[in-house]
């Protein structure tokens, strides 16, 4: 028996958990609970909610965070996107901005297909991460066109 095989068989003999992705409820080991003030509380209880409140800490106080909606703005096309990009460019001359984008209809479609196929949550998360980059890429050409237009007009 090779070294990796012997280590795997030794581990399987010493591990009391059921093999092969069996039912976690059949696991003979007791569960470990992390103590928390939220333990055994309803997260809808107003008193519990108040007990978790803390002061807001602005990590980047000089920056403003904006989220550009996928469905409301990006999916609406050039007639809506270009004026928004122009307004953002004007704001960038005065303020520091952190821009986020939403996925829009395409993201909802990706999730719908993934759920219909029965994909696990981890795969859906990876699809969402990959899809989240697309709207940001959509804004780049609009911003580049605006910069070129301003450079040509001497603004």
Rg (CA), the chain: 25
C-alpha span between 138 and 102 (Å, rounded): 11
CA 3 to mean position of chain CA atoms: 41
- The per-residue b/e assignment along 30-56, b for 16 or more CB within 10 angstroms, e otherwise, is eeeeeeeeeeeeeeeeeeeeeeeeeee
C-alpha span between 94 and 105 (Å, rounded): 32
Other Cβ atoms less than 10 A from the Cβ of 73: the count is 20
| Residue entry with tokens 């909802």 | 108
C-alpha span between 121 and 114 (Å, rounded): 9
- What is the rounded average pLDDT of the residues 10-32? 59
Which of 26-35, 37-46, 143-152 has the weakest average pLDDT? 143-152
- Please write the tens of the pLDDT for every residue from 78-104: 888 888 888 888 888 898 888 887 767
pLDDT at residue 117, as a whole number: 93
pLDDT at residue 120, as a whole number: 93
* Alpha carbon separation from 118 to 7, 111, 129 (Å, rounded): 34, 10, 18
Which residue in 111, 77, 84 sits closest to 99, CA to CA?
Answer: 84
| Residue entry with tokens 């108040």 | 50
Q: Percent of the chain having pLDDT more than 90?
A: 7
- Please write the tens of the pLDDT for every residue from 38-80: 777 787 888 888 888 888 888 899 999 888 877 778 778 888 8
Identify each DSSP E strand in the chain by its residue range: 63-68, 96-101
CA angle 106, 110, 111 (to 5 degrees): 120
Query: DSSP state, 33?
Result: -
Q: Where is pLDDT greater, at 113 or 149?
A: 113
């Amino acid at each position: 028996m090779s070294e990796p095989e012997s280590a795997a068989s030794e581990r399987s003999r010493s591990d009391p958990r059921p093999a092969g992705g069996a039912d976690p409820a059949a696991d003979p080991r007791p569960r470990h609970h992390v103590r928390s003030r939220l333990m055994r509380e309803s997260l809808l209880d107003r008193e519990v909610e108040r007990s978790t409140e803390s002061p807001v800490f602005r990590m980047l106080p000089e920056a403003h965070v904006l989220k550009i909606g996928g469905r409301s703005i990006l999916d609406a096309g050039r007639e809506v996107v270009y004026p928004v990009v122009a307004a953002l460019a004007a704001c960038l001359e005065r303020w520091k901005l952190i821009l986020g984008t939403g996925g829009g209809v395409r993201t909802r479609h990706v999730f719908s297909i993934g759920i219909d196929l029965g994909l696990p949550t981890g795969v859906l998360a990876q699809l969402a991460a990959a899809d989240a980059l697309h709207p940001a890429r959509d804004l780049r050409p609009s911003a580049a066109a605006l910069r070129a237009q301003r450079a040509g007009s001497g603004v």
